[in-house]
């Protein structure tokens, strides 16, 4: 009989405690892996999400709020800027593309964003990828009351081309606040896995001139998405100087990724706490393997004594117990990997619903190999404590049955 067979026999004999211990490792492992992957993926996704633009120009206020409002379609707007500001940035020699955004309405909680067709036709939300309308639809005609819906918004609202919508006033839905204006859905965007999927897009003028909006709204914008010309590294700094340092009326949020990264840096302490909790849970789970194996040594003293009387060396007994702890941790971590994939899917689903971003795949993350390796190694190391106890069992004393 090989050592592995002896270990397998022992684990089967103590199937219940083996199962419970492996389950606790699975839960701890899943928590550890999920925390690690989710915080990394969330950071990467949010800092990498720029909708294909370099900067956002908006009213004076927080850069983060401006980015959240214009790129992620979350948060309130920090204010408006004038049409002349848009014209000025559009003409700036460093600017390749400037796309205006006007916000202020919603369709049953989904933001209505007024913009120009260039958002769809001239910009790439990811390198090489442009927004595309599903078959049977088209982009809106800026001269008509037409709307194009993000895929997620269309799905949630149950709308298809040909249906009509009445935007409601404000960013949050309240019954009875619908505008009189009726928009016809003319297209549904193919899923882009970006916050654009959650938005109802209409022509800029449509939102500006919506019945019930003030006259001032026709001369204002919520923000301008700006793409700088390639090859000019100083353009961003120059505009930062112009708007943020010298000017007092507008905010130049650039570069978008760094602004989001600053947010994550600010809440980095929370990540550390999560990591600490996950780490502590993992340590407790590993300790449970030690405790469970250590306690079982008392009831297995006779078994160990018999093995030793048959010629098993102390090292053989020591190895068997360490291997037992290792096998329990390995089984636990295999189950833990499955659990963590489940947690990732659930959290990913929530993020997609709430923010519209899709996390990258669960597989392929480095923690998926080093996490289990660390846990199994820790369990093997912890297994040396009961293993030491096992190989010190007094053979002569424990060969006779205890009654």
Question: What residues make contact with another protein under the rule CB under 8 A?
Answer: 1-2, 6, 9-10, 12-13, 302-303, 306-316, 395-396, 399-401
For another protein, the closer of residues 9 and 166 by Cβ is 9
For another protein, the closer of residues 314 and 352 by Cβ is 314
Distance of CA 313 to the CA centre of its chain: 52
Compute the CA torsion angle 388, 394, 399, 403 (nearest 10 deg): -90
For another protein, the closer of residues 239 and 387 by Cβ is 387
Question: Shortest distance, CB of residue 277 to another protein, whole angstroms?
Answer: 39
Distances (CA, A) of 28 to 38, 168, 280, 344, 372: 15, 46, 9, 15, 11
The pair of three-digit structure tokens given for residue 360, joined into one six-digit string: 């990258």
For another protein, the closer of residues 308 and 365 by Cβ is 308
For another protein, the closer of residues 135 and 310 by Cβ is 310
Bridge-based pairing of strands 146-149 and 200-203 is antiparallel
| Contact predicate 358/193, CB 8 Å | yes
Question: Shortest distance, CB of residue 19 to another protein, whole angstroms?
Answer: 16
Distances (CA, A) of 82 to 122, 219, 247, 381: 23, 6, 14, 66
Given CA atoms 133, 135, 137, 142 in this order, what sign does their dihedral have?
positive
Question: Shortest distance, CB of residue 382 to another protein, whole angstroms?
Answer: 24
Question: Shortest distance, CB of residue 16 to another protein, whole angstroms?
Answer: 14
Bridge-based pairing of strands 200-203 and 110-115 is parallel
For another protein, the closer of residues 225 and 312 by Cβ is 312
For another protein, the closer of residues 282 and 391 by Cβ is 391
| Strand segments (E) across 172-303 | 183-188, 200-203, 220-221, 223-228, 250-253
Q: What is the C-alpha separation between 389 and 235, in angstroms, rounded?
A: 69
Bridge partners for 56 per DSSP:
225, 253
Question: Shortest distance, CB of residue 351 to another protein, whole angstroms?
Answer: 49
Write the CB contacts of 50 (distance below 8 Å, at least 6 apart in sequence): 71, 255, 256, 257
Question: Shortest distance, CB of residue 379 to another protein, whole angstroms?
Answer: 23
Question: Shortest distance, CB of residue 321 to another protein, whole angstroms?
Answer: 15
């Amino acid at each position: 009989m090989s050592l592995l067979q002896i270990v397998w026999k022992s684990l089967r004999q103590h199937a219940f405690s083996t199962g419970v211990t492996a389950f606790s490792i699975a839960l701890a492992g899943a928590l550890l892996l999920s925390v690690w992957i989710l915080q990394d993926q969330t950071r990467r996704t949010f800092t990498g999400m720029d909708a294909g633009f370099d900067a956002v120009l908006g009213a004076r206020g927080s850069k983060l709020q401006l980015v959240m409002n214009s790129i992620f379609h979350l948060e309130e707007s920090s204010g408006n800027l004038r049409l002349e500001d848009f014209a000025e940035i559009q003409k700036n020699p460093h600017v390749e593309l400037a796309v205006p955004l006007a916000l202020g309405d919603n369709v049953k909680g989904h933001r209505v964003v007024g913009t120009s067709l260039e958002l769809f036709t001239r910009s790439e939300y990811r390198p090489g990828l442009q927004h595309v309308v599903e078959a049977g639809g088209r982009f809106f005609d800026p001269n008509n009351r037409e709307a194009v819906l993000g895929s997620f918004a269309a799905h949630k609202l149950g709308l298809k081309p040909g249906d009509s919508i009445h935007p409601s006033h404000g960013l949050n839905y309240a019954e009875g606040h619908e505008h009189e204006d009726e928009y016809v859905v003319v297209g549904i965007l193919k899923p882009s896995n970006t916050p654009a999927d959650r938005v109802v897009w209409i022509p800029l003028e449509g939102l500006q001139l919506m019945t019930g909006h003030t006259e001032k709204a026709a001369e204002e914008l919520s923000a301008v998405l700006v793409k700088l010309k390639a090859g000019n590294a100083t353009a961003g700094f120059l505009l930062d100087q112009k708007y943020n340092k010298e000017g007092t009326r507008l905010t130049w949020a650039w570069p978008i990724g760094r602004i989001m990264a600053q947010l994550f840096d600010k809440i980095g302490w929370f990540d550390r706490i999560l990591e600490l909790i996950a780490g502590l849970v993992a340590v407790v789970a590993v300790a449970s393997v030690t405790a469970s194996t250590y306690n079982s040594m008392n009831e297995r003293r006779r078994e160990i004594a018999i093995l030793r009387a048959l010629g098993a060396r102390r090292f053989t007994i020591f190895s068997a117990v360490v291997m037992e702890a290792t096998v329990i941790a390995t089984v636990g971590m295999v189950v833990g990997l499955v659990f963590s994939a489940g947690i990732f899917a659930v959290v990913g689903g929530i993020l997609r619903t709430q923010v519209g971003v899709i996390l990258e795949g669960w597989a392929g993350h480095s923690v998926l190999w080093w996490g289990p390796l660390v846990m199994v190694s820790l369990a093997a190391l912890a297994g040396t404590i009961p293993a030491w106890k096992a190989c010190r069992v007094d053979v002569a004393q424990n060969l006779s049955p205890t009654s």
